[in-house]
Amino acid sequence: MEAATSKPQFIGERIDVEAGSFDAGLMERGEPGVPRSFRWRHERFGVVRITDRRRQLGEDRGDRYVRRHVYDVETSDGLRMTLHFERNPSDRSRRKAWWLYTLTLPEPVIVTQRVALRRWTYADRDAFLRMVQDPQVMAHVHDFEPMSDRQAREALDATIARYEIGYGDWAVVEPQHGDILGEAGLTPLPDAATEITWMFFGQHWGKGYAREVASAVQRYAFETLHLARIVARVRAENDRSAKVAEAIGMRLARRFKDDRGEEMLEYACARPAAG
């Protein structure tokens, strides 16, 4: 299954380059110098590597010249972008500028029968905010209430940063159109346990997505990451999630109260023995 979101999306919008962020080495060789950081649609993106570069030539009265410098780059949040600098804009009234030509979202980490799981990026900010500020989605997770704008920004920052350990919470995507249905993944806890998590927009409840995705994440935890044990911490009144945990073979390990005094159920399962 190929996720539509892994294909380049045409953008064709100007970006705002941050002062002093140009690649000086490229500028010394006569190229415009790819910016190390820039803003697009009010989000800040950092360039971590250039994967390809090329030039588009123009012709004026028989003379050939460089019209655009084109660069394929990867950003710190896992996006692949094609940027270009218009050295000689075809429209002479426009000033020279950097443009975001195409954007490609990260490849799926996990693919199931109906959905794909991929990294969240800063290009997903609007969808992430809709999710964590939806009262129905948040009724049984985190603080059991919608996040503020500040909390949501911090949560997305933390989610993206956490991928450095090799896993995290991923966006659950409908592959054909790229719609985000919710989130699922693995979260390291302060007590050294690893928690499996899932949450979906209300319109996708009752369709089997949670069980399908939780089962796939469980397999990934054991077969790819070789984790020894995972847990699921479920609010006692959250019958839906308790049934999902039981459906994927997790068993109730203990009851406890969290820092807020809420009664919680901890389900657990261990990696099956080899052979």
Rounded CA-CA distance 208/261 in Å is: 31
Average pLDDT of span 214-233: 98
pLDDT tens per residue, range 196-222: 999 999 999 999 999 999 999 999 999
Whether 2 shows a pLDDT value over 50: the answer reads no
What does the pLDDT read at residue 91?
Answer: 52
Give 273 or 229, the one with higher predicted confidence: 229
Confidence at residue 4, expressed as pLDDT on a 0 to 100 scale: 54
256 pLDDT band, cuts 50/70/90, is very high
- Where in the chain are the domains? 4-104, 110-270
User: For the CA atoms of 208, 255, 266, 251, what is the dihedral angle to 10 degrees?
Assistant: -70
Are 38 and 75 spatial neighbours (Cβ–Cβ below 8 Å)? no
Length of the chain counted residue by residue: 275
The alpha helices in the chain, defined as continuous H runs, are: 24-28, 125-132, 135-138, 149-162, 209-219, 239-247
What secondary structure does DSSP assign to 238-256, as a single string? -HHHHHHHHHTT-EEEEEE
Residue range 95-145, pLDDT digits in tens: 678 999 999 999 999 999 999 999 999 999 999 999 999 999 999 998 899
Residue 60's pLDDT band (boundaries 50, 70, 90)? Answer: low
CB atoms closer than 10 angstroms to residue 170 = 25
Beta strands across the sheet bearing 229-235 = 110-111, 116-118, 169-173, 180-188, 194-200, 229-235, 263-270, 251-257
pLDDT of 64 reads 63
Mean pLDDT of 238-257: 97
Q: Which one is predicted more confidently, 221 or 21?
A: 221
Q: Bigger pLDDT: 25 or 91?
A: 25
* Sheet order of strands, 63-75 included: 9-14, 98-104, 80-86, 63-75, 43-60, 37-40, 16-17
Q: Which amino acid is at 133?
A: Q
Mutual angle of helices 149-162 and 125-132, in 10-degree steps: 120
pLDDT of residue 55: 86
The CATH number for 110-270, chosen from 3.40.50.1370, 3.30.420.10, 3.40.50.720, 3.40.630.30, is 3.40.630.30
